Structure 1
Amino acid sequence: MQFDLGPDNRTDILRRSQSALIECFGRIVRPPDKRRSPEWVLVHGVIGAQTKTAASNASTDGLLAEFGSWERVAERSEDELEERLQRQSFPSVAAKRLKACLQAIIEERGSVSLADLSNLPLEQAMAWLETLPGVARKNSAGVMNASTFDRKAMVIDGHHRRIMQRMGLVPPKADTARTYDALMPIVPPEWSAADMDEHHLLLKKLGQTFCRPRAPQCEGCPVRNDCRTGS
């Protein structure tokens, strides 16, 4: 026999943290014109390892502006792509991953199009994305949530993962995939995809200010009361 243990207390912690973060930082809502195509978001994620968002934005926009389509980008050599990815922290790695990823999509689908993923269940769409070279859980969730798909997937970056670990909501050494798997079942059921996106952006802001990787500033942190490390 299974017993109903009631709602997970961590769900309430997520609700409280969302309210506290909005009170501290204000609303951080991604406007509709910032929701790019899923293909753009995929490329951005594949080339963006340890690179500031603004630099990856410029690189992704630059590739599409110069070559006109992702199919034509896929035709360029790794050396040519590396020349155009100098803003990235690891341009040679970014070039290799990007070419391999785009070619894999073309081989399976005939073109670089992800539109039909919107017809698949979320988990199935993400699982397929993660078979592509250079695509891990953060990238697949980004394609589903931060793009025009606007699906309910939690994007997990280093700030997000670190804060969830410090707050005790996920295991201390959880990687991105394990953090995602731990958080998705406890997301407040009333949250929309946009709420989940804002939660991620607010935690990123928290990680850049109070909850930094080293020497976190727990005094004044808006979620301190619900944090195992800072309380």
Structure 2
Amino acid sequence: MELALGGDPRTDVLRRLHAALIARFGQIERQHEKRVDPVWTLVQGVIGARSKTAISNAATDRLLQRFGTWEAVATAHVETLTDELRTQTFPAQSAERLKACLQAIMAERGEVDLRHLSNLPTEDAMAWLERLPGVARKISAGIMNTSRFQRRAIVIDSHHRRIVQRMGLVPPKADTTRAYDALMPILPDEWSAADIDEHHLLVKKLGQTLCRPSEMLCADCPARPDCATGRASLEH
């Protein structure tokens, strides 16, 4: 993926935003452990619609503990998977999508394994993932960035997209894919995959606390100096 050389002023906005969020919330490091497995990240994403991250993490661990292998999860009955995923917001839908996704991988690869993606450019690997049932840009970016692949790919969830739209960094009606395509070329060149992951987690925290969907606490927001919406709200 070709990145800009840093001349876009939005790149400096991202640098300032990152520093301001660290000053407010502190640095965030993702605890990897076994969750560096790309398949674990895939499963967590597929079952995670509208569910809290901690709940989806626990459900993913529980699936592997119960069935032992992802191949066994792929061949389990949907009703059994639904029961195992009862803590998810949409357990039946999560079970159906997960089974279809894992079976699609098995049909092409012979097992539930994503190691072949390490040989592909990031864009090609994400395109392969997005052909799987239940996998869109947020999940494909998460797999490439937060697993052992450690690629430069930014995760865009609803919190992140809302904030960058309000700041004016991406078009106001951009979906996740368009927001990703707008942000990737302006990420600071010096940011590693871990830096990009931390940036996402910090922006997500901002969206969960000060820049919520129906409530914007602009007067107390560390992003306000660079936020078009924040500045406008305080002018009225």
Q: TM-score, normalised by structure 2?
A: 0.94
The percent identity for this pair of structures is: 65
Partner of 2:147: 147
Q: How does 1:189-204 map to 2 (within 5 A)?
A: 189-204=189-204
In 1, the alpha carbon distance for the partners of 2:32 and 2:206 equals 23
Matching residue of 2:26: 26
Match of 1:128 in 2: 128
What letter is aligned with 1:83?
A: D
Q: 1:15-94, aligned counterparts within 5 Å?
A: 15-33=15-33, 35-94=35-94
Q: Is contact 2:6–2:188 with CA below 8 Å preserved after alignment?
A: no
Please identify, of 26-35 and 193-202, the stretch whose mean Cα deviation from structure 2 is larger.
26-35
Shift of 1:149: 1.3
Counterpart residue type for residue 45 of structure 1: G
Question: By how many angstroms is 1:5 displaced?
Answer: 11
For residue 194 of structure 1, what is the amino acid of its counterpart?
A
Query: 1:131 is paired with a residue of what secondary structure?
Result: coil
Once residues 51 and 105 of structure 1 are traced to their aligned partners in structure 2, the CA distance between those partners, rounded to angstroms, is 24
Establish whether residue 119 from structure 1 lines up as the match of residue 119 from structure 2: yes
Q: Which residue of structure 2 lines up, in the alignment, with residue 107 of structure 1?
A: 107
Which region of structure 1 is more displaced relative to structure 2, 168-177 or 30-39? 30-39
User: What is the aligned-residue RMSD (CA, Å)?
Assistant: 1.4
For residue 228 of structure 2, give the secondary structure of its aligned residue in structure 1: coil
Aligned equivalents of 1:5 and 1:112: distance in 2?
A: 38
How far, CA to CA, are the matches of 2:58 and 2:34 in structure 1?
A: 14
Structure 1 stretches of 4+ with a deviation exceeding 3 A read: none
* CA deviation after TM superposition for structure 1 residue 67, in Å: 0.5
With over 3 angstroms needed to count, the CA separation of the structure-2 counterparts of 1:25 and 1:140, relative to structure 1, is same
Query: Is 1:175 the counterpart of 2:169 in the alignment?
Result: no
1:36 Cα deviation after fit: 2.4
Task: Decide which structure has greater helix share.
Answer: 2
Compute the displacement of 1:32 (Å). Answer: 3.9
CA distance in 1 between counterparts of 2:105 and 2:33 reads 26
Distance in 1, matches of 2:220 and 2:35, equals: 33
* Alpha-carbon distance in 2 for matches of 1:202, 1:178: 21
Shift of 1:34: 6.5
Matches within 5 A, 1:161-172: 161-172=161-172
Mapped to 2, the partners of 1:6 and 1:87 lie a distance apart of 44
Q: Quick one: distance in 1 between partners of 2:155 and 2:102?
A: 22
Task: Go from structure 1 to structure 2 and tell me whether the alpha carbon gap of 1:181 and 1:82 turns closer, same or farther (over 3 Å shift).
Answer: same
Residue 95 of structure 1 pairs with residue 95 of structure 2: yes
**Shift in Å at residue 16 of structure 1?**
0.5
Deviation at 1:88, TM superposition (A): 0.5
Give the CA deviation at 1:31: 3.5
For 2:9, the aligned partner's letter is N
Structure 1 pair 83/144, CA: closer, same or farther in 2 (3 Å)? Answer: same
Give the corresponding residue for 2:234: none
Deviation at 1:6, TM superposition (A): 7.5
Q: Which runs of 5+ in 1 are unaligned?
A: none
The structural deviation recorded for 1:158 is: 0.6
- Of 130-139 and 21-30, the range deviating more from structure 2: 21-30
Aligned residues: 228
Instruction: Tell me which amino acid in the other structure corresponds to 2:228.
Output: R
CA distance in 1 between partners of 2:125 and 2:10 (Å):
27
Q: Which runs of 5+ in 2 are unaligned?
A: 232-236
